[in-house]
Structure 1
C-alpha cells in the first residue's frame, strides 16, 4: 500500500535507500563472480565499494525529483573520483564499463521486484524509473571513462616528458663524448707535434756535433734546452691528467691564508726575480682562517704565477689576497706581459691554447688546470687583459667550503 502523498517513483527511491547496504553487497558479489573482472579480486570491501553508495543515493534523489539535472554536479564529482580510483587500481576501460553495467542490471532487477509487489507501480512507472537509472548509470560510466582517459593521457604526457628529457640528456652526453673525443685527439696531435719538434732539434744537435766538433758546447746547450722544455711539457701533462682523474671526495681543512701566502712567495720569488722581474705582494690583514683544500688552492696560485712569469719579459708580477663581502675572499695575480688579444679571449681556458707566436715551452694546459680546480673549489674566475700591456686574473673563493652532501 502506498501513501497518497508519495509518488510511485519516490516510493521506489525510498525502497532503494532502505536497501542501500544490501544492494551494494549484491552488486559487489556479482562483480567478484564475474570472470571478465580480474582486477576486482585484489580489492578490499571498501576499495571495491568506492563511491557506488554515493552514486546510488544520487540516483534516488533523481527519482524523487524526477530530474537528473538537480544531481548532475554531485554525480559528476563522484563519477570522476570513481574513474580516477579505478585507474589507480589498474582497471581497464572495458572492466570499468562492465562493473557499472552490472550495477545497472542490478538496479533494473530491483525495479522488477518492486513492481511485482506493488500494483500501483505500473509499467509506465517502470519505464520511467528504468529511464532515470539508465541515464544516470550512462552518465556515470561516460564521466568515469573520461577521467580514466584523462589520467592515462596525463601519464602518457609524463612519460613523454621524461623520454624527451632523457633524449635531451642523451644528446648532450653524446655531444660531450664527441667533444671529449676531439679534445683527446687534440691532446694527441699537440703532444706528437711537440715531441716531433723536440726530436728534430735533438737530431740537429747530434748532426752539429758530428759535423762540427768545435761546436759541441753549442749543440749540448741546444739539447739541454730541449730536455728542459720536454720535461715542462711532460710535467704539465701529468699534472692535468692527475687533476682530471681525481674522483676522490674533496678533503677539507682549516688553515691560515697568511701561511699559504708566505709559502707561495717563497716558492716563486726566486724564479721570478731570475727573469729580471719584480714580485709585488699584498695580503689583506682582515683575512684569517679558511676552510678549503690548501694543496689545490696552492696549485691554482702557482699555475697562475708560473703562467704570468712565462708571458712576461719585463716589469712585474703581482700576488694579492683580499677579503670580500658575503663571506668570500679573492686571489689576484697580475702581470705586465704580452696580454691576451680580443680574438683569443674565448679560447684562453681551453686545453693546449697558448701564445704560439712566443717561444715559450709548455703544453698550454696551465689555465685549463686552473679552470678545473676552480670548479672543484667553487671558485669564480674572471680576467682582464690588454694586448701588450698585461693580464689580471681574479678568483673569488668561499671562506668556508662545505663538503659534498653536507
Structure 2
C-alpha cells in the first residue's frame, strides 16, 4: 500500500517511525552543538536520548489518531520521567525548555521534508501535523517543567526539614551547654560552701587546742567528723563524674538476684543499725536469674539505701525485690525519714538537691546518680513521699536487658 492510499497524517507518522533513530540522532546533535545547553556536554548519548524515542513514538500515535486525549497519559508518564531525570542531571528549567524546543523544531523540519517529497501531503495536512506536534511538545514541556518544580520543591522541603532538625538540635545543644555551665557553677558553689565549712571547723578545732589543751580530744573528734563528711562529699562527686563519663558499651551478665540482695543487706545493715534504725528486708522467691549489669544495679540500690538512712533519724529502712508483670522485676527502698515536700518533688532527681538540714553530709548527687544509671539500665522510677512520714522509691527493671542495637 502506497503512502497516497493511507491517511496523510498516518503516512507521516509511519515515516517518523521509520526514521526514529535518525531523527533522534539529529536532535541530539542539535542539542550538543547548542551554546545555551551547557549541561548536555556532560551527558552520554544514552543519557541525553532518555525518553525522547518513547515520546516521539507517542507523538506518532497522536498523528495517527488525530486525538491527543487517547495518548495523553502515556506522554505524561514519559514527560515526567524526562523532567525528573533532567533535574537530577543538573538542567535548569530554561535549558529543559530549550532542549524540547529543538525537538519541536526537528519535527517541524521533518514535516517540510515529508511534504516536499509527497504532493498528496497538502498545506492543510502540514498545518494539522504542526498543530498536533505543537500540542504534544507543549504538553511534554509543561509536564516536564512541573516535574522539575516538584523535584525542586521536594528538595527544598528536604533541606528545610534538615535545617529545622539542625536548628532544633542546636537549640538542644545550646540548652545542654547552658545546663552544663549551670551545673559547673552549682558544683563550684557547693564545693566552695562545704570547703569553707570544713576550714572553719578545722580552724575552730585548732583554736580550741591552742586555748584549751584539755579539750584536745574534743577538738580532734570535731576535726575527724568534718574530715569524714568531706570524704563523703568527694566520694559522691567522684562517683557522679564516673557515671556521667562512662561511655563504654554496657556489659551484660547473667546472675542470681538473690545473691545481689544478700550482698546489699550485708553492705548496708551495720551502717543502718548504727544509727539506731531497723532494716527490714523481703525477697520474692519467684525471682531467679536476670540479665543486666550487676555492679550498676548494686550502685542504684546502695545509693537509695544510703539516701534513706541519711535522711531517717528514727524508725526503719526497708529493702525488697519482687517479681512483676511483663517480664520485669521491682526494686523497692522505703524509709520513715523526713520525706519530700510537694514543692520539692520536681527537683528530687536534679543535681545538688538535698535537705536543708546542714548536718547531712554529701553533695546531693545520690538521686541524680540513680536517675542516670536507671536510664542506662532501662529502669522506670516512681516515688511517693509524705513530708515528715517517709519516702518510697520503686524502680522496675527488665528481667533480660537487651544491649543497644540488639
Secondary structure at 1:349 match in 2: coil
How many angstroms does 1:35 deviate by? Answer: 4.2
Q: Does 1:244 align with 2:244?
A: yes
Q: Residue in 2 aligned with 1:30? A: 30
Tell me the equivalent position of 1:283: 283
1:42 deviates by 4.5
Corresponding residue for residue 268 of structure 1? 268
Q: SS of the counterpart of 1:273? A: helix
Higher mean C-alpha deviation, range 24-33 or range 182-191 = 24-33
Distance across 1 between alignment mates of 2:404 and 2:67: 66
TM-superposition CA deviations, 1:363-397 (whole Å, max 9, x none) = 11111111111111111111111111111111111
Report if the CA contact (8 A) 2:4-2:120 is conserved. no
Q: What CA RMSD, in Å, does the superposition of the two structures yield over aligned residues?
A: 1.9
> How far apart are 1:286 and its partner, in Å?
0.9
Aligned to 1:332: 332
Aligned length: 406
Deviates more, 1:33-42 or 1:106-115: 33-42
1: CA distance between counterparts of 2:67 and 2:244?
Answer: 76
**Structure 1 residue 43 displacement after superposition:** 4.0
Matches of 2:27 and 2:4, distance apart in 1: 32
* CA deviation vs aligned residue, 1:195-251 (integer Å, no higher than 9, x gap): 101111111222222223333332222212111111111111111111111122212
Q: Which sections of structure 1, spanning at least 5 residues, go unmatched? A: none
In structure 2, C-alpha distance between the alignment counterparts of 1:62 and 1:362, rounded to whole Å? 87
Q: Distance in 1 between matches of 2:77 and 2:245?
A: 60
Partners of 1:346 and 1:112 in 2: CA distance: 85
Measured in 2, the distance between the counterparts of 1:15 and 1:289 equals: 83
Shift of residue 89, structure 1, vs aligned partner = 2.5
Q: In the alignment, what sits opposite 1:129?
A: 129
Q: Trace 1:250-261 onto structure 2 (pairs within 5 A).
A: 250-261=250-261
Gaps of 5+ in 2: none
Residues 1:154 and 2:166 aligned together = no
1:88-99 alignment runs, 5 A limit: 88-99=88-99
TM-score w.r.t. length of structure 1:
0.94
Query: 2:10 — aligned with what?
Result: 10
Partner of 2:202 in structure 1? 202
**CA-CA distance at 1:33 after TM superposition:** 3.8
CA distance in 1, matches of 2:34, 2:380: 69
Q: Distance in 1 between matches of 2:73 and 2:304?
A: 73
Q: SS at the partner of 1:191?
A: helix
8 Å Cα contact 2:300-2:370 kept in structure 1:
yes
- The CA deviation string for residues 135-175 of structure 1, in whole angstroms up to 9 with x for no partner, is 22122112211111111111111111111111111111111
Task: Find the aligned partners of 1:70 and 1:238 in 2 and give their Cα distance.
Answer: 79
